[in-house]
A and B are shown apart, each in its own frame.
Chain A
Amino acid sequence: AQSVAQPEDQVNVAEGNPLTVKCTYSVSGNPYLFWYVQYPNRGLQFLLKYITGDNLVKGSYGFEAEFNKSQTSFHLKKPSALVSDSALYFCAVRDGRGSTLGRLYFGRGTQLTVWP
């Protein structure tokens, strides 16, 4: 079965510093990986997705993600954090085959807090 793990419940960084939100995955077949962000009382917004062959994927709001096949990781990064980046971040993997084709599996989420 497909799964993702987000090892940190909380990440705290100072504004202007780089940030990393970690995600590791377990898949059979090709990895279809995504990052979503959730602001308070809102639904999830798509940030970026893994594209086959690109180890560094760029997404919305200056975020990027680094794909590492040997470490089965897909960490979310931003060079310079903003207070407005404070939100709940979810890593997800979509099933690409079999009877569960199309299903999306989420990590437990990482609460990012950026201090001014």
Chain B
Amino acid sequence: NAGVTQTPKFQVLKTGQSMTLQCAQDMNHEYMSWYRQDPGMGLRLIHYSVGAGITDQGEVPNGYNVSRSTTEDFPLRLLSAAPSQTSVYFCASSYSITPSNQPQHFGDGTRLSIL
């Protein structure tokens, strides 16, 4: 059971480039989400999805797009990379959004540097 798998683990981009961070889970979870982790700021929600075909914005969605064509996959796209998007990105999933006492399962992260 792989859990939540994120690729790539590391990436360096130039300002203005675009790229897609991949996230896949094999637990048949309905709820998936993307966070960014910055020093001293905890984790902040970028986008989330409550099921295939349904996505919504979190706290810091600007500059990012998502789609959810299957239950398993939830890619995050950077449209035009900016240095402010240098961060560690985590994908997480849980079985559903209710009951709300379900813990989320996290991938190991993608460390992204924008030059």
A41 to B42, CA, bound (A): 15
**B109 and A43 within 8 A (CB):** yes
Verify A104–B101 contact, CB threshold 8 A: no
Complex Cα–Cα for A30 and B105 (A): 22
Residues of B81-106 at the interface with A, using a CB-CB cut-off of 8 Å, are: 90, 92, 94, 97-98, 100-101, 103-106
Does B108 reach chain A (CB closer than 8 Å)?
A: yes
Residues of B in contact (CB 8 Å), total: 27
Not counting A49-B101, A101-B97, A106-B42, a sample of 14 additional A-B residue pairs whose C-beta atoms are within 8 angstroms of each other reads: A9-B40, A34-B103, A36-B106, A41-B108, A42-B108, A42-B109, A43-B106, A44-B106, A50-B101, A103-B58, A104-B43, A104-B45, A104-B92, A108-B42
Residue ranges of B at the interface with A (Cβ–Cβ < 8 Å): 4, 31, 33, 35, 40-45, 48, 50, 58, 90, 92, 94, 97-98, 100-101, 103-109
